[in-house]
Amino acid sequence: MGKSLALFIGTFTTLLAVINPLESLPIFLKLLTGQDSQAHRQVARLACFYATGLIFFFLVFGTLMLKLFSVSLSMVRIVGGIILMRIGFSLFLPSASGGVIHGGGGGSPQQAGNIAFVPLAMPLMFGPGVMATIMGMSSLVKHPISDFLELLCICLAVVAAMLVTYLILAYAKELLGRIGPHGIDAATRIVGFFVAAIGMGLVFHGIFDALRDYKIIPMG
C-alpha cells in the first residue's frame, strides 16, 4: 500500500509540475481573447479531455512500442529522468511563453476544438516531459496483472492531475488576478526543483537496473 501511495503522489505531482498549467495561463488567455467564461471552460474541458486520451493511449501502448524497438525499461527510466531533470532546471529560468503564440478571438466550435487540441492539448499538456513521466512511472510496474494496484494508482494520478489542470485553466482569469505574474513565477521555480529531483531519482533507478540487466552487478 505504501508503494502504491508513493507511486500515486509521485506521478500526480510530477505530471502537474511538467504540465505546469500556471505557466500556460498567459497562453490560454491569449488564445481566448474576448471570450467569456463559458468559452474558457469549454476549451479547457476539451483540451484536458484530448490530453488525457493521449496520455492513456501512450500508457497502454507505450510498453508495446518499447518491445517493438527493443528498448529496455531501464533505458526509458534513464532517458525519462534526464528529460525531467532538464525540464526541472529550465523551470528555474524566466519564461518567455507569454507572447509566443498568437490566438484569435473567434468563437466557433470548430475553432475552439482546434485550439483545444493544438497547441493546448499538444504540445503544452502532452509533450516529451509527460511522455517521459508516464513511461518512467509505468516502468516501475513490473507485472501489470499482479501489480494492478500500482497501475491503477498511476491512472488515478493522471485523472487527478488533469482535473486540477482543468480547474486552473477554467478559472484562469480569476487565478491570474489573485496570484499575479510574480506568484506564478515563484510557483514555477518551486515545482522545478521537485521535477529535477524526481528526474534524478528515475536516472538513479534506471542506472541501477541497467547494471543488473547487463549483469555488471548481481541480481538483488
Q: What is the pLDDT of residues 85-96, one digit of tens each?
A: 887 788 777 555
- Residue 98: pLDDT band by 50, 70, 90 thresholds? very low
* Residue 87 burial class via C-beta count within 10 angstroms: exposed 0-12, middle 13-18, buried 19 and up: buried
- The mean per-residue pLDDT over the stretch 46-54 comes to 95
- Residue 190: pLDDT band by 50, 70, 90 thresholds? confident
How many Å apart are CA 70 and CA 39, to the nearest integer?
A: 45
- What is the sign, positive or negative, of the torsion defined by CA atoms of 71, 73, 78, 80? positive
Say what the pLDDT of residue 104 is.
Answer: 47
Say what the pLDDT of residue 152 is.
Answer: 92
Q: Which of 76-80, 116-120, 159-163, 181-185 has the highest mean pLDDT?
A: 159-163
Name which of 159, 151, 127, 130 is nearest 48 in CA terms: 159
Say what the pLDDT of residue 46 is.
Answer: 94
Name which of 39, 132, 11 is nearest 80 in CA terms: 132
- The mean per-residue pLDDT over the stretch 111-131 comes to 80
% of the chain beyond a pLDDT of 70: 89
Say what the pLDDT of residue 106 is.
Answer: 47
Contact criterion met (CB below 8 Å) for 207 and 75: no
Q: What is the mean pLDDT of the chain?
A: 81
Contact criterion met (CB below 8 Å) for 132 and 84: yes
Say what the pLDDT of residue 134 is.
Answer: 86
Please give the grid coordinates belonging to residue 30: 491569449
